[in-house]
Structure 1
């Protein structure tokens, strides 16, 4: 089962210079609750950003896969060069945690989307590629402090 998780503002903004353009503790807690100890897939830039945030602490995930077209050795992760093939053939639960290109490549294979809708405008330079959200069924929604935590299923 492929699960994808991200937060985006009303303009579908998801990033600013490889960082989040906002800081909502409740959203960070939601992300951590869902992904902690899980098998995750992320791009190289997301991996490096998280490593800079966690510094010397290990990333809080189970098995970590990092997508990169360049041969790279990751001390705590496995390199994935063909994201689509990897996701299409993955048999267990896999969480897609960023960035933009990884979301874009894996969205057709995602069974569940966990989207935090940030009900505000922020400045940044990375936007989620628009898609038809009505292709998914909204199965859960919780509003809190200018955020909507929504779960969608195919």
Structure 2
């Protein structure tokens, strides 16, 4: 089972210079609740960004895979140099947590989308590549002021 989780604003914007362009406590709690102790796949830039937030503390995930074109040794994660082959052959539960390129590569293989819809416009420079969300079935939705937490199934 493959899950992808992200937050995006009304314009499908997901980032600004490799950081979140907003701070919604509920969204951060949701992300942490959904991914805590889970096996995750992320790109190199997302990994470095998370490391900068957590400083010396370990990241709150279980097993971590970091996608990088260069075979790199990480002290707390395994390097994946071929995302498509990896995702096609991975048989356990996996959470894709960013960034844009990793989402683009893995989306055709993802079973569940966990999207925080940020009901506002924000400044940023990284946008999720639009796709037909209508091809997924909405299976869960929670509405808060300014946010919608939605889970979609393929």
Query: What is the TM-score with the length of structure 1 in the denominator?
Result: 0.99
Whether the aligned pair in 1 keeps the contact of 2:67 and 2:83 (CA below 8 Å) is: yes
1:93-104 alignment, distance < 5 Å: 93-104=93-104
Question: What residue is the counterpart of 1:144 in the other structure?
Answer: 144
Question: Could you say what the CA RMSD is over the residues aligned between the two structures, in angstroms?
Answer: 0.4
What do the CA deviations read for 1:48-86 (whole angstroms, capped 9, x no partner)?
000011000000000000000012111000000000110
Residue 62 in 1 paired to residue 100 in 2? no
Looking at structure 1, the residues matched to 53 and 146 of structure 2 have their Cα atoms a distance apart, in angstroms, of 25
Alpha-carbon deviation of 1:145? Answer: 1.6
Looking at structure 1, the residues matched to 71 and 79 of structure 2 have their Cα atoms a distance apart, in angstroms, of 8
Looking at structure 1, the residues matched to 22 and 87 of structure 2 have their Cα atoms a distance apart, in angstroms, of 29
Looking at structure 2, the residues matched to 68 and 145 of structure 1 have their Cα atoms a distance apart, in angstroms, of 37
Q: Secondary structure at the match of 1:139?
A: strand
Number of residue equivalences? 154
Looking at structure 2, the residues matched to 65 and 5 of structure 1 have their Cα atoms a distance apart, in angstroms, of 15
Question: What residue is the counterpart of 2:25 in the other structure?
Answer: 25
Whether the aligned pair in 1 keeps the contact of 2:139 and 2:153 (CA below 8 Å) is: yes
Q: Structure 2: 5+ residue runs without aligned partners?
A: none
1:63-142 alignment, distance < 5 Å: 63-142=63-142
Q: Secondary structure at the match of 1:107?
A: helix
Q: Secondary structure at the match of 1:5?
A: strand
Q: Secondary structure at the match of 1:52?
A: helix
Question: What residue is the counterpart of 2:14 in the other structure?
Answer: 14
Report runs of 4+ in structure 1 exceeding 6 Å deviation: none
Looking at structure 1, the residues matched to 84 and 121 of structure 2 have their Cα atoms a distance apart, in angstroms, of 32
